[in-house]
Structure 1
């Protein structure tokens, strides 16, 4: 008897995982909190000295949690929405049009707002062409728009997705969870291996003396080790689709995620930046998908959270540039903690508005207009968006069973 969750008579997989869409904004928001903390160390003393270190220590691995969540989510969603009728060329076309226009627009905005006077043109061009993640130099990795490096990593994910999913589909259902465990162990082991095999070099930053730039680069920034995060999402999705996943629910997954974050305060930064939260994040993603598939209530499936999730990619890309623009308008001076909190709320609101504009004026029109071939390929279906402007990418082969009427939006995650 098939163990596929979609194999029951009349049972169709839900097309759009709104809970996972809603979860995207909290993931982007914690990255916003982390980048706000960094400003105190980038020559913008926006918060008084006695408070800046306390704030940094509170959120110092929040940004990496958000990034890891997006990496796992990307693999999961693309696998969930995969279709037999798709081709690699069509998939790459959709991903390019989804990611690159906003990326280039925000690159230009960042150069105009703050980066051009302090950024070498070579670094600027490396960032524009998503090549900044191949140099163990933070000035290159985080030049122009600091959030952009993760999109360069995602580009490798998208290029490798056809092969990775093909390999994942070859794993027997009764062994899929074993491979989930192996890949999760590989993710946890990567920071350890980097500390053992990679020469230390200079320290990460004065606040993180236990972590070197070279070791952090290998464990966290270099795309090839991060493919494990993406592969974990693919394998977890395959486990859920095959009916082999043991769901612990969103509440317990959330508790474990909070516990993992707390554990990060007691581990070296190279571990808290990636290893301690990735498994709870995968559990939460799977739990959210299962809740949507079964029609159960979640806090993240309401209209506001889904809308915020829709604009979250633009928010993730543009928030640092917006924050820098606000600081420049107000002048470089320090504020009390309450004043700084108010400014953060102002920056958050401004970032949401700019993200909305990017989504409505660039991202959605471009994906609607050019993501799909104008003519149907023989024997295949073209793709359309749903009434809410959702990209309904039909991506890659999934286990046998009824297919959704329209596939789930294949957002990255950031």
Structure 2
């Protein structure tokens, strides 16, 4: 669910459709995939706008079907699995101590990507919580746990910043994927398959109820990350052209957005995973093939993808603040569409400023620190053909 630091796209549209893929250059930027991050963040924003709208007006207009906007989280998880395979595609060290160094670098990059901005937003929220706890954590039946909030470890309660529950899964994905990187490269696809088998066995055997760690480890949502990783392996192996990419993208988007127009209520667990995983993978693979073909992605959506992590962390706070100020100013009789536009624009502007003023400098600092701690390595073996 995070923004990559990739360079300009160097993909080519040449070659036989659906042929075996050629190696992908280091620094390839997947702009269409980055745009999907922006779409995922927008979907979550819409879902929460539907929930927060009532705080600013008594005449709500967004339907309950907008709860399906939470599919943005599922899209984030699928993208995460894909990106983990993509960024480690050339990691083929023969010696265990070299792989250990790589894993250390991998986890350092993930930790410095997730925690700093999360901690800053959480600290701001914590100061509000100390003064007005009813304004921050009123929708959850359980009090937040400080240890879980700070370190994003599994717990039955949400972190203080409620959207942080997804980051608990993300950190678990990264840790287990890092362990998988200790195996030789040719074993990793089998490791992903074994991971899926263990998760399914644990879920069907009821192990998920044993503890908070087990609840997360054997949750059906894990399959979204693994499906994204499998999509990454397909992308590295098969070179689809722009036509196949566009078709898959269209089919996947139709498969996702049809739920907004259905009478089926949004449900967690297996129903969510079964409904959303395959369309998300189709959208993702289609977007990645379009990037390989060198097609240009919508610039605003790419920027929104850059801002997506900041938007994800800050949007709910912005929405609640705008809605409360709206009602306090006596504007509840103003048409709801005006409130929704103001909330949406405010959330995106706050995210853009947060990215530019806080997140991007943090990313630059983290990258410099990683270069000092982990020496630059020569290019490993080419990506799988």
Q: Do these two structures clear the TM 0.5 threshold for a shared fold by scoring above it?
A: yes
1:212-291 correspondence runs (5 A): 222-225=216-219, 226-243=221-238, 248-259=247-258, 262=261, 265=264, 270-291=269-290
What is the CA–CA distance in structure 2 between the aligned matches of 1:348 and 1:237, rounded to whole Å?
32
**Counterpart secondary structure, 1:61:** helix
What is the CA–CA distance in structure 1 between the aligned matches of 2:298 and 2:310, rounded to whole Å?
20
What is the CA–CA distance in structure 2 between the aligned matches of 1:357 and 1:398, rounded to whole Å?
38
Cα 1:166–1:258, aligned 2, differ >3 Å: closer, same or farther? farther
Q: Describe the superposition over 1:242-294 as per-residue Cα deviations: whole angstroms up to 9, x where unpaired.
A: 12888653122222222355567167554553320111001110110011001
1:295 aligns with 2:281: no
In the other structure, the counterpart of 1:134 is: 155
In the TM superposition, residue 19 of structure 1 has moved relative to its aligned partner by 0.4
Q: Which one of 35, 45, 48 corresponds to residue 58 of structure 2?
A: 48
In the other structure, the counterpart of 1:59 is: 66
In the other structure, the counterpart of 2:14 is: none
In the TM superposition, residue 328 of structure 1 has moved relative to its aligned partner by 2.9
In the TM superposition, residue 144 of structure 1 has moved relative to its aligned partner by 2.7
In the other structure, the counterpart of 1:322 is: 318
Give the total of aligned pairs.
343
In the TM superposition, residue 69 of structure 1 has moved relative to its aligned partner by 0.4
1:156-167 correspondence runs (5 A): 156-164=172-180
In the other structure, the counterpart of 1:144 is: 160
8 Å CA contact 1:27–1:70 kept in 2: the answer is yes
Q: Describe the superposition over 1:141-175 as per-residue Cα deviations: whole angstroms up to 9, x where unpaired.
A: 2x5322111112111111112234566953699x9
Cα 1:365–1:45, aligned 2, differ >3 Å: closer, same or farther? closer
Q: Describe the superposition over 1:81-108 as per-residue Cα deviations: whole angstroms up to 9, x where unpaired.
A: 2242771111111112211111011112
1:94-133 correspondence runs (5 A): 94-113=109-128, 117-118=132-133, 123-131=145-153, 133=154
1:34 aligns with 2:47: yes
What is the CA–CA distance in structure 2 between the aligned matches of 1:268 and 1:349, rounded to whole Å?
28
What is the CA–CA distance in structure 1 between the aligned matches of 2:343 and 2:43, rounded to whole Å?
14
**Counterpart secondary structure, 1:371:** helix
Cα 1:127–1:341, aligned 2, differ >3 Å: closer, same or farther? farther
Instruction: Report the TM-score when normalising by structure 2.
Output: 0.74
In the other structure, the counterpart of 2:21 is: 5
8 Å CA contact 1:107–1:144 kept in 2: the answer is yes
What is the CA–CA distance in structure 2 between the aligned matches of 1:218 and 1:264, rounded to whole Å?
34
In the other structure, the counterpart of 2:9 is: none
**Counterpart secondary structure, 2:264:** helix
**Counterpart secondary structure, 1:273:** helix
**Counterpart secondary structure, 2:335:** helix
Cα 1:167–1:111, aligned 2, differ >3 Å: closer, same or farther? same
In the other structure, the counterpart of 1:79 is: 85
The unaligned stretches of length 5 or more in structure 2 are: 1-18, 94-100
**Counterpart secondary structure, 1:36:** helix
1:150-189 correspondence runs (5 A): 150-164=166-180, 169-170=185-186
In the TM superposition, residue 12 of structure 1 has moved relative to its aligned partner by 4.1
Cα 1:261–1:317, aligned 2, differ >3 Å: closer, same or farther? same
8 Å CA contact 2:22–2:239 kept in 1: the answer is no
Q: Describe the superposition over 1:19-64 as per-residue Cα deviations: whole angstroms up to 9, x where unpaired.
A: 0111111211111121223336xxx643426x47xx352212321x
Q: Describe the superposition over 1:319-348 as per-residue Cα deviations: whole angstroms up to 9, x where unpaired.
A: 011112222323467846x73222122122
What is the CA–CA distance in structure 2 between the aligned matches of 1:374 and 1:31, rounded to whole Å?
34
In the TM superposition, residue 4 of structure 1 has moved relative to its aligned partner by 4.6
Aligned-residue Cα RMSD (Å) equals 4.1
Instruction: Report the TM-score when normalising by structure 1.
Output: 0.69
8 Å CA contact 2:44–2:69 kept in 1: the answer is yes
In the other structure, the counterpart of 1:25 is: 38
Cα 1:70–1:168, aligned 2, differ >3 Å: closer, same or farther? farther
